[in-house]
Homo-oligomer: A and B are copies of this chain.
Amino acid sequence: MTSSARRGPYICGIDAAMDVVSGKWKSLILWELNNHGTRRFGELRRGLPGVSEKMLIQHLREMEEDGLIHREVFREVPPRVEYSLTEYGRSLNEALRPLGAWGTERRKRLAAQTPQASA
C-alpha cells in the first residue's frame, strides 16, 4: 500500500481540496510542474531540495491517482519518465493562486516582525 488512506468522505469543499494537496511536497510539485510544463523524475528531485526519492514517488503516484498529473514513460535506455499537469491539475493550481498570494503577504509580515528569520 503506497497511497495514504483518505479520499473521502468529505464534509465540505475545503476538506476535499486539502486532501489532495496535503503532503509535505505536493504543493511544491504542483508549482514545479506548473512552471516547467514537463519534468523528469530526476529533475523534480533536484528541484525540490531535501525530498527523498521515496516521498517523491509516493506523492507523484497519489497525485496521478487523483488525476492531477500525467505520467509518460519513454522506453529508452536509460529509461525516461516525464511528469506534467493534467487540465484538472492546472485548475487546482489556479484555485491555489489566491492562497499563494496570501502566503506571500504573510511572509512579508513575518519578515517585517523578525527581520533575521522566518522569511
Interface of A is mostly: helix
Taking the closest CB of chain B, its distance from the CB of A16, in whole angstroms, is 4
Instruction: Give the number of times this chain occurs in the complex, counting copies.
Output: 2
Range class of the A interface residue count: 35 or more
Known: A22-B22, A101-B95, A102-B91. A119 touches B10 (CB 8 A): yes
Which parts of A7-25 form the interface with B (CB within 8 Å)? 7-18, 20-22
Contacts of A117 in B (CB 8 A): 8-9
Given contacts A9-B117, A14-B28, A94-B98, 10 further A-B pairs with CB under 8 A are A8-B117, A8-B119, A9-B118, A13-B102, A13-B106, A14-B31, A14-B103, A18-B27, A96-B98, A97-B98
